[in-house]
Amino acid sequence: MIVKRRASITGWGKCVPPVKLTNDDLEQLVDTTDEWIVARTGISERGISHVEVTDLAEVAAHRALAAAGLEPTDIDLLVVATVTPEITCPSQACYLQERLGAVNAAAFDLNAACSGWVYGSATVASMIEAGIADRVLLIGAEKLHFVMDYYDREQCILFGDGAGAGVYEASTAGDGVLASDIGADGVAGRTMVIPTLGTAGELSQRREPSDARLHFEGQAVFKLAVRGMEGSVRRALDRAGLGVDDVDLVVPHQANLRIINSVTRRLGVPPEKVMLNIATHGNTSAASIPMALADAVDQGRIEPNSIVVQTAFGGGLTWGTTVMRWGDRVEAIAKSDVELPPCDKSVFELLADNRAFFAPLHQEQAEN
């Protein structure tokens, strides 16, 4: 009998910035109210980071490694999913490898926007199944407030900063990733664009405010997200030989509560089987699923042998789903004492440079 080798999650962790941007704070920045934001998004607050993406990723990584009972030197592959890299070369993963001391790990970045964690999970699961890697550290980390325009209430209410991490290890015990589905629609990719994080255009000292912010078409994204995630979940479950009734917990990308509710309602998944932490984290792109997964384990939402579905939709446009059977362990082997450095600034001080940068754009629009 041939025993199938699969990728099973053995460690989990997250890092949340200590400074929060609440809906009451946003009322002082844009024309909005707490009631308006909660009704449309389900979000009450989101983290604003005073440190860089690698700092967030490092803390989450240490916590995931501790939960798995591993040292950085035990890892043979390190993957970082992000759309807001601190630098582009070397990759965030190589930068983090140095910080962690994961000297035995290959390292690379992956950009599938909000679908980054699921794309990463599908990728590392395939590499583990093929015998290319045995122990993989996958991190989703974002500093999204850097590309937010805090004069634009349509986008700035949604996004936050943070990082989540997971350790995937080879298993022949029947647990692990059972099936994956990933896809993309480049034609619709213009609905979510960050124009300046690339080599397009001429070299210039000046970054234009109109091009430096996230361009986000919320209504178009909503419809595409619901259809994309529903179809992806159904395909992944079919490949796993399972049905919706077999699922114990869905851990969706925490994009918008209305999107999550629409997807799970169309799938026929009851609310008690859906993991939510969007109210206190907001949309953290590639970091959202691993952060929610860490919360789910810590809250006892996942039991040994649980069937867990992770599903996401993001810029590109991209979508993806993994279906996994959890292993025997739902308790962390150890805990890390690594923390972010303290922050002595208020949320308004952290956002001051952003507001100053985008102010001329909105002044010009008001004058015209």
Task: Based on the residue annotation, tell me whether 277 is a catalytic residue of this protein.
Answer: no
Residues comprising the chain, all counted: 368
Is the pLDDT score of 296 beyond 90?
yes
φ, ψ of residue 294 to 5 degrees: the values are -60, -40
| Per-residue pLDDT, 224 | 82
pLDDT tens per residue, range 334-360: 999 999 999 999 999 999 999 998 888
Q: List the chain domain ranges.
A: 6-197+210-332+360-367
Do the Cβ atoms of 9 and 35 come closer than 8 Å?
no
Task: Based on the residue annotation, tell me whether 94 is a catalytic residue of this protein.
Answer: no
Q: Which helix (H) or strand (E) holds 39?
A: helix 34-41
User: Of residues 15, 114, 256, 281, which has the active-site annotation?
Assistant: 114
Is the pLDDT score of 203 beyond 60?
no
Average pLDDT over residues 3-15: 95
Is the pLDDT score of 183 beyond 60?
yes
Residue 213 to residue 235: CA distance in whole angstroms = 34
Q: Which helix (H) or strand (E) holds 219?
A: helix 218-240
User: Of residues 111, 253, 256, 277, which has the active-site annotation?
Assistant: 253
Do the Cβ atoms of 88 and 54 come closer than 8 Å?
no
pLDDT tens per residue, range 316-330: 789 999 999 999 999
φ, ψ of residue 167 to 5 degrees: the values are -105, 125
Residue 75 to residue 101: CA distance in whole angstroms = 10
Average pLDDT over residues 303-324: 94
Give me 246's structure tokens.
């077999």
- Percent of the chain having pLDDT more than 90? 79
Peptide bond into 90 cis (omega under 30): yes
Q: What single letter denotes the amino acid at residue 184?
A: A
| Per-residue pLDDT, 210 | 57
Residue 287 to residue 118: CA distance in whole angstroms = 10
- Percent of the chain having pLDDT more than 70? 89
pLDDT tens per residue, range 55-113: 999 999 999 999 999 999 999 999 999 999 998 889 999 999 999 999 999 999 999 99
| Per-residue pLDDT, 195 | 61
pLDDT tens per residue, range 107-137: 999 999 999 999 999 999 999 999 999 999 9
Positions of E strands within 176-303: 176-184, 192-193, 215-216, 249-252
Residue 138 to residue 81: CA distance in whole angstroms = 8
- What is the 3-state secondary structure of 60-110? HHHHHHHHHCCCHHHCCEEEEECCCCCCCCCCHHHHHHHHHCCCCCEEEEE
Given CATH 3.40.47.10, say whether it is the number of domain 6-197+210-332+360-367: yes
User: Of residues 23, 111, 256, 283, which has the active-site annotation?
Assistant: 283
Instruction: Give residue 279's pLDDT band: very low, low, confident or very high (50, 70, 90).
Output: very high
Give me 280's structure tokens.
């206190």
Task: Based on the residue annotation, tell me whether 215 is a catalytic residue of this protein.
Answer: no
pLDDT tens per residue, range 13-36: 999 999 999 999 999 999 999 999
Residue written as tokens 């859906």? Answer: 274
Is the pLDDT score of 3 beyond 80?
no
Average pLDDT over residues 263-287: 97
| Per-residue pLDDT, 153 | 85
